[in-house]
């Protein structure tokens, strides 16, 4: 039975001041938002031209020229505004808010009489609206604009953007739907479904959620819409590479309820699963929830990297097959991990099962952070687990793999998506229901939470990625009744100690990964938790052919890797004995302050290959080596070099 889902805590009630996370979160406001603003306005040399703001000016009739950029170019503005919203929701910034207001006003001026917004179609050919849902990205773009509008409204209380997008959403409701005469299509790139649900929550207008439901229910039913659409006279191909369209690419190969494996383009998939989860909850639709669980399991049990990334194929950024997880040519898009986190959060809210948060945490601490350099100015779109810069060559099978982060991208979804994720970390940290406060992530912060009819102030001090030491102080105001505290015990924690004010806590219950401490009544209670998070070796299921005979190093939520700068070149020639003591050391001056792991290994030498032969009946010669591992997400912050997560094991 689907019950009332857990709620998140409004971002403005959470104040993060965490040594680990602040390094990244501060980049959003200080670096990413101003940097992207310059890009949106084509003010930066040496990076891809955006033309975004210019497109809106042209669409508004305030400038002349052609549309430039991708068909979904408008989403860069949307994601920027969404990230700005989260920043404004937690810290006042008059200049930034003015910039946002001006941009929103420009969007309003670029809106057509009937509510339509999309600079590509408005500038190029309004008659082609909705004629190519497969590739046109109109609904996808609308979705990101709606998300931004809702976020801006929630952060500032200002209604202009929300009303602009309501007008567009109203138009979309007129155009699409089950009724005769309406278009019976659905988005080529899912996104608007979850956005419409957010718009419903912000406005209370039920029709938005009904349209989201229509899009989800209609998808993959009967004759595939995209294949029908292609045959119409008004259809115009946009991307030649989609000439022979594979309906799996957009998860339209089957009705969503019948889908049991995660297929196609990974970002499309997870955005759709988010909406499915939302709808399952809103409509108490057990069948849809069951589909969500099946798809989640397929992803996280068979198609996910240890770093919480998904999408194994470099071509079409897509899922392939169960247990196919190559490490040096995968796509593993940053945005896909963000979508995975968004889906996992929803599933945890519905099921109160902390195991979903284990995956969310894995994605956030590893792949999402890997997506951005420590200076906030360069980004990984693709997140391999093994890189040899020499073979990351243009026009080869590894052309999608970059050995260094890039300054910007033509299709710039990942950087602003990282920005909005970092600016909204609070959404993952706590859940509440009527009488229980759920602590999901152990990030140093203070928060004010509504529970049991009053306010509870939570102060968390956490050193999770280093010692595992966490202190939680909860203070309830007089109006709050007794309440329960549910502490997530991460899956990687084998042992932990928790002390309350009066020593060891007893009588707690564990349920689905949460430790419930019931009936807190004191005004103030302090908990000291020591999670054991020693560095340790993990292995992959032997069905993962690429990882058989290999081991990876993890510590708490972090996956570690070897880098060439610490360990010399040719990392795949290193072999490690899993039966060894691992030495951990906090290095204050390295990569912003990290715990490194020191271990020993053996490296194949070329002693037997002095003649430069390529193959031969030669002995293995080894050299003992001391190795240093660093957190995966910090790799490539010290110049170009090799990187390796899965090390070969001495068997």
**By the criterion CB under 8 A, which residues form the site for a copy of itself?**
240, 246, 249, 300-302, 304, 306, 312-316, 318, 320-322, 324, 326, 328-329, 388, 390-391, 393-399, 494, 536-546, 548-549, 552, 570-573, 575, 602, 604-606, 609, 612-618, 620, 648-651
CB nearer to a copy of itself: give 35 or 537: 537
Q: Which of 91, 17, 599, 20 is nearest to 361 (CA)?
A: 20
Least distance to a copy of itself, CB of residue 58, Å: 27
Judge whether 317 counts as a catalytic residue. Answer: yes
DSSP string, 418-432: HHHHHHTTHHHHEEE
Q: Which residues of 292-323 are buried (b: 16+ CB within 10 A; e: fewer)?
A: bbbbbebbbebbbbbbbbbbbbbebbbbbeeb
Dist CA 489 CA 514 (whole Å): 6
Residue 268 near residue 250 (C-beta atoms within 8 A): yes
Helix (H) or strand (E) segment spanning residue 461: strand 454-462
Dist CA 304 CA 124 (whole Å): 40
CB nearer to a copy of itself: give 89 or 326: 326
Residue 494 near residue 522 (C-beta atoms within 8 A): no
∠ Cα 155 95 159 (to 5°): 35
Residue 110 near residue 59 (C-beta atoms within 8 A): yes
CB nearer to a copy of itself: give 283 or 496: 496
CB nearer to a copy of itself: give 145 or 300: 300
Least distance to a copy of itself, CB of residue 331, Å: 8
Q: Given CA atoms 95, 100, 101, 107 in this order, what sign does their dihedral have?
A: positive
CB nearer to a copy of itself: give 25 or 551: 551
Helices (H), 230-322: 266-282, 286-302
Least distance to a copy of itself, CB of residue 251, Å: 14
Judge whether 183 counts as a catalytic residue. Answer: no
Dist CA 47 CA 411 (whole Å): 12
Residue with tokens 């009332």: 4
Least distance to a copy of itself, CB of residue 392, Å: 10
Residue 430 near residue 447 (C-beta atoms within 8 A): yes
Out of 317, 361, 546, 642, pick the active-site residue: 317
Dist CA 96 CA 87 (whole Å): 9
CB nearer to a copy of itself: give 508 or 604: 604
Least distance to a copy of itself, CB of residue 538, Å: 5
Residue 52 near residue 76 (C-beta atoms within 8 A): yes
Secondary structure of 125-187 in HEC code, one letter for each residue: CHHHCCCCHHHHCHHHHHHHHHHHHHHHHHHHCCCHHHHHHHHHHHHHHHHECCCCCCECCCC
Least distance to a copy of itself, CB of residue 15, Å: 34
CB nearer to a copy of itself: give 510 or 538: 538
Query: Rounded to 5 degrees, what are φ and ψ at 36?
Result: -70, -30
Tokens at 276, concatenated:
């499915």
CB nearer to a copy of itself: give 386 or 463: 386
Dist CA 563 CA 388 (whole Å): 10
Tokens at 154, concatenated:
């929630």
Out of 335, 413, 414, 561, pick the active-site residue: 413
Least distance to a copy of itself, CB of residue 155, Å: 37
Least distance to a copy of itself, CB of residue 22, Å: 29
* Residue numbers annotated as active site: 317, 413
């Amino acid at each position: 039975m689907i019950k009332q889902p857990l709620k998140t805590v409004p971002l403005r009630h959470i104040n993060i001041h965490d040594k680990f996370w602040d390094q990244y979160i501060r980049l959003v406001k200080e670096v990413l938002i101003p940097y992207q603003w310059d890009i949106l306005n084509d003010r930066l040399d040496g990076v891809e031209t955006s033309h975004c703001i210019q497109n809106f000016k042209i669409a508004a009739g305030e400038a002349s020229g052609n549309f430039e950029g991708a068909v979904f170019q408008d989403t860069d503005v949307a994601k920027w505004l969404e990230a700005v919203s989260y920043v404004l929701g937690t810290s006042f910034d008059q200049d930034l808010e003015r910039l946002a207001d001006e941009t929103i006003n420009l969007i309003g001026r670029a809106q057509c009489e009937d509510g339509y917004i999309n600079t590509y179609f408005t500038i190029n050919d309004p008659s082609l609206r909705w004629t190519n849902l497969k590739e046109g990205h109109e609904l996808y773009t609308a979705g990101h604009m709606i998300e931004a509008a809702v976020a801006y409204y929630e952060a500032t209380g200002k209604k202009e953007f929300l009303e602009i997008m309501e007008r567009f959403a109203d138009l979309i409701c007129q155009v699409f739907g089950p009724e005769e005469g309406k278009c019976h299509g659905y988005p080529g790139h899912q996104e608007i479904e979850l956005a419409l649900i957010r718009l419903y929550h912000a406005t209370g207008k039920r029709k938005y959620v009904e349209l989201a439901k229509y899009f989800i229910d209609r998808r993959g039913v009967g004759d595939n819409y995209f294949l029908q659409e292609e045959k119409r006279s008004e259809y115009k191909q946009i991307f030649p590479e989609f000439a022979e369209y594979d309906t799996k690419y957009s998860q339209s190969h089957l009705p969503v309820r019948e889908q049991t494996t995660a297929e196609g383009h990974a970002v499309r998939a997870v955005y759709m699963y988010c909406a499915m989860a939302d709808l399952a909850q809103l409509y108490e639709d057990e069948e849809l929830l069951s589909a969500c669980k099946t798809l989640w399991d397929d992803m996280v049990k068979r198609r996910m990297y240890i770093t919480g990334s998904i999408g194994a194929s470099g071509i079409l950024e897509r899922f392939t097959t169960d247990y196919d997880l190559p490490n040096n040519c995968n796509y593993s898009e940053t945005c896909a991990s963000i979508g995975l986190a968004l889906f996992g959060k929803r599933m945890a809210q519905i099921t109160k099962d902390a195991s979903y948060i284990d995956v969310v945490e894995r994605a956030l601490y590893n792949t999402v952070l890997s997506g951005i350099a420590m200076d906030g100015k360069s980004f990984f779109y693709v997140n391999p687990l093994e890189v040899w810069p020499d073979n990351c060559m243009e026009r080869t099978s590894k052309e999608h793999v970059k050995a260094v982060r890039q300054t910007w991208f033509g299709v710039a979804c990942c950087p602003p998506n990282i920005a909005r994720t970092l600016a909204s970390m609070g959404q993952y940290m706590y859940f509440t229901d009527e009488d229980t406060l759920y602590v999901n992530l152990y990030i140093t912060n203070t928060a004010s939470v509504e529970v049991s009819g009053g306010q509870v102030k939570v102060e968390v001090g956490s050193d999770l990625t280093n010692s595992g030491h966490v202190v939680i102080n909860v203070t309830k105001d007089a109006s709050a009744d007794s309440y329960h505290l549910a502490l997530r015990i991460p899956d990687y924690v084998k042992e932990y100690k928790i002390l309350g004010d009066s020593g060891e806590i007893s009588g707690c219950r564990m349920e689905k990964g949460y430790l419930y401490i019931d009936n807190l009544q004191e005004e103030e209670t302090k908990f000291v938790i020591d999670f054991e998070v020693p560095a340790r070796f993990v292995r992959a299921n032997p069905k993962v052919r690429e990882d058989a005979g290999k081991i990876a190093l993890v510590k708490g939520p972090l996956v570690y890797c070897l880098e060439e700068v610490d360990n010399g070149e040719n990392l795949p020639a290193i072999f490690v004995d899993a039966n060894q003591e691992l030495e951990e050391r906090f290095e204050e001056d390295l990569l912003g302050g990290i715990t490194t792991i020191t271990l020993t290994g053996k490296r194949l030498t070329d002693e037997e290959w002095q003649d430069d032969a390529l193959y031969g009946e030669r002995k293995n010669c080894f050299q003992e080596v001391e190795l240093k591992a660093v957190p995966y997400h910090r790799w490539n912050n010290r110049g170009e070099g090799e990187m390796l997560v899965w090390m070969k094991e001495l068997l």
